[in-house]
Structure 1
Amino acid sequence: MKKVIETFLNILYPRRCPVCHDIAVPVGQRICTTCRDKLKPITGPRCYKCSKPLAHGEQEYCENCKTTHYFDQGIGIFTYGSVLRESLFQLKYGNRQEYGVFYGQLAAYYSKNQIRCWNPQIIIPIPLHKKKMAKRGYNQAEIIASALGKELGLKTDIKTLQRTIYTNPQKDLGYRERKKNLEHAFEVRGKLPWKNILLVDDIYTTGATIDSAAKVLKTAGAEKVYFLTVGIGTDA
């Protein structure tokens, strides 16, 4: 009966492909068969710290991770290229919230072994400031984190870590400007009950956002802070 209902809903409200944004073909699939090959997870050598793809196998760290980070380790699932950039833009600004569920489920599939090794107690999505949340109506990181957590059997918390300062968009800023932009942007509300935390966001470029959140969490008592993002930049 459940399968019949799902089939009916897929016909009535067909899914959009996150790559081409048309109705996914065949109907009921999450991504078009012809588009699947355009969205491939990262393979090959990666930075040991942030997981950015590296040009040379003998490298251990990307240029950005030669400096100190507050997070312990992280993983990005896809390279943040043109296909993913447009898809995440539609998720964030085009109200394609179903893309967040799709990416959360896919991230769980590709990262489950790594996350089990980290053994986090909780998943915390990077929060939006209340003004941005009111304007957009949803937090894309929260949607991704919720879908990821459901797949892996991990709880998600959206109350403890809060964004208290409205910051300028990060995309047009350099690394130092990004860090300065995020100073004091986050705070922990109440007592932090977890020692091992997984942060989730849609994109990792310089790591300034993740680092700022990780710093606040560690100041509040966290011992290990890891991260997962759907997209990640390449080595500088």
Structure 2
Amino acid sequence: MNILKWLDYLYPPRCPVCEKISAGGICPECRKKIQFIQKDYCMKCGKPLDHAQDEYCRDCRRRRHVFVRNRALLSYRGPVKLSLYQMKYGNRREYAVTYGREMAKMLGPWIYHTGITRIVPIPLHASRKRKRGYNQAEWIARAMGKELKLPVDTRLLYRIRRTKPQKKLDDRQRKQNLKNAFEVRKKIDSRERILLVDDIYTTGSTVDAAAWCLQNALGCQVYAAVIAIGG
């Protein structure tokens, strides 16, 4: 039995926001409480814009990113924060699967349009993965790959240095914390387009560090997608 089907059988699908049984993922009531980012977002990082006429958010107007473009499913606020905390630290793998399916549904047209050939989850350091029990980005990516029929590569990018939790650091410290944290361990065609997948985008430091490593080693264009983004 496929691992995702096995998970659905063992744990009846629940809404990751309110935890009520919901075969359709996020339940209709919770869809009204959370902010899906479908318009008026930054054309670089995907953050909701303060003014609809703007093309880029304030952060992206003042700094350069390595990735080509990032898109997000949700705004990181309200009940979404608690849901992602439970997913990440409470071993709620089924939440990662639900969000991955939601990302594939909403972001699928954009992913196909950009010509993505390979999905790569942001890796955890081995010690942190053992402590947490799983890498949530990997489960999100696998759910997306299954829905979009795109390959998911968990052996391309590795985190070789254990870093401090990013949430405790300012922007400058985040960049320094992630310096030389990733390593590419195989070669792929430079014409491929990679989609990095993670759960939360705050300043973009993690995605930038991973994208720089991939571009420097392989010459590929790197895009990104996350469940939720701050702002």
TM-score computed with the length of structure 2 as normaliser: 0.91
CA distance in 2, matches of 1:206, 1:125: 18
Q: Secondary structure at the match of 1:190?
A: coil
Q: Secondary structure at the match of 1:231?
A: strand
Matched, 1:179 2:175: yes
TM-score computed with the length of structure 1 as normaliser: 0.89
Larger Rg over CA atoms: 1
Q: CA deviation at 1:39?
A: 3.0
CA distance in 1, matches of 2:58, 2:230: 12
CA distance in 2, matches of 1:104, 1:13: 16
Q: CA deviation at 1:29?
A: 4.5
Q: Tell me which residue corresponds to 1:18.
A: 16
Residue identity opposite 2:180 in structure 1: H
Q: CA deviation at 1:13?
A: 4.3
CA deviation vs aligned residue, 1:43-81 (integer Å, no higher than 9, x gap): 331111111110112211112212111100110110000
The match for 1:38 among 23, 29, 33 is 33
Structure 1 segment 106-145 matched on structure 2, within 5 A? 106-145=102-141
Residue identity opposite 1:42 in structure 2: I
Matched, 1:86 2:82: yes
Q: Tell me which residue corresponds to 1:168.
A: 164
CA deviation vs aligned residue, 1:142-180 (integer Å, no higher than 9, x gap): 000000011111000001100000000001211111111
Q: Secondary structure at the match of 1:38?
A: coil
CA distance in 1, matches of 2:24, 2:224: 28
Matched, 1:224 2:229: no
Q: Tell me which residue corresponds to 1:70.
A: 66
Q: Which runs of 5+ in 1 are unaligned?
A: 1-5
Matched, 1:59 2:54: yes
Q: CA deviation at 1:130?
A: 0.2
Q: What is the percent sequence identity of the aligned residues? A: 47
CA contact (8 A) 1:192 1:222 kept: no
Residue identity opposite 2:18 in structure 1: C
Number of aligned residue pairs: 223
CA contact (8 A) 1:192 1:220 kept: no
Q: Secondary structure at the match of 1:201?
A: strand
CA distance in 2, matches of 1:72, 1:185: 20
CA distance in 1, matches of 2:45, 2:31: 25
Residue identity opposite 2:198 in structure 1: D
Q: Tell me which residue corresponds to 1:203.
A: 200
With over 3 angstroms needed to count, the CA separation of the structure-2 counterparts of 1:202 and 1:13, relative to structure 1, is closer
Q: CA deviation at 1:31?
A: 3.6
CA distance in 2, matches of 1:115, 1:48: 14
